[in-house]
Homo-oligomer: A and B are copies of this chain.
Amino acid sequence: MIFGVGLIGGSMALALRAAGGVSEVVGCSRSEANLKEAQRLGVIDRWTTAPAQACTEADIGVLAVPLGSMQGLSAAIAEHWPSEAVLTDVGSSKQAVLDAVRAGFGELPRNFVAGHPIAGTERSGVQAAFASLFQDRLVILTPADETSPLAAERVAAMWRATGARVEFMTPAHHDHILAATSHMPHVLAFALVESLARMSESDEIFHYAAGGFRDFTRIASSDPVVWRDICLANRDAILDVLQRFQGDLDGLRQVIARGDGAELEARFGFAKDARDRFSEKMQAQLDQ
Neighbouring B residues of A195 by C-beta, 8 Å: 244-245, 248-249
Residue A150 lies at the interface, judged by CB distance under 8 Å to chain B? no
Q: Are A246 and B239 in contact (CB under 8 A)?
A: no
Using an 8 Å CB-CB cutoff, how does the interface string of A255-277 with B read, 1 for contact, 0 for none? 01101010011011111101111
Contacts of A246 in B (CB 8 A): 246, 249-250, 253
Q: How many copies does the complex hold?
A: 2
Question: Per a CB cutoff under 8 Å, which of B181, B198, B267 touches A213?
Answer: B181
Question: Which of A68, A222, A261, A265 has the most chain B CB within a 10 Å cutoff?
Answer: A265
A50 close to B (CB within 8 Å): no
A272 near B231: Cβ-Cβ < 8 Å: no
**Does A22 sit at the interface, judged by CB under 8 A?**
no
Are A187 and B256 touching (Cβ within 8 A)? Answer: yes
Shortest CB-to-CB span from A189 to chain B, Å, is 6
* A180 on the B face (CB < 8 A): yes
Cα(A256)–Cα(B238), bound, Å? 9
A252 to B235, CA, bound (A): 12
The answer to whether B190 touches A227 (Cβ under 8 A) is no
A201 at interface (Cβ–Cβ under 8 A)?
yes
Instruction: Assign chain A's interface to a size class.
Output: 35 or more
The residues of B that contact A224 with a CB separation of less than 8 Å are 264-265, 268-269, 272
Q: Which of A55-63, A104-112, A113-121 has 4 or more CB atoms under 8 Å from chain B?
A: A113-121
Query: Is B243 within 8 A of A197, CB to CB?
Result: no
Is there a chain B Cβ closer than 8 Å to A33's Cβ? no
Whole-angstrom CA separation of A44 from B144 in the bound complex:
63
The list of the 6 closest CB pairs from A to B, nearest first, reads A224-B268, A197-B274, A224-B269, A195-B248, A193-B271, A181-B209
List 20 additional A-B contacts (Cβ < 8 Å) besides A180-B199, A193-B272, A197-B274: A120-B210, A140-B208, A180-B196, A181-B210, A182-B209, A185-B217, A186-B212, A191-B245, A192-B245, A193-B275, A194-B248, A195-B248, A206-B281, A222-B272, A224-B269, A228-B264, A228-B265, A235-B257, A239-B256, A246-B246
Contact residues of A with B, CB < 8 Å?
A: 68, 118-122, 137-138, 140, 176-178, 180-182, 184-199, 201-202, 204-225, 227-229, 231-232, 235, 238-239, 241-246, 248-250, 252-253, 256-257, 259, 261, 264-265, 267-272, 274-279, 281-282
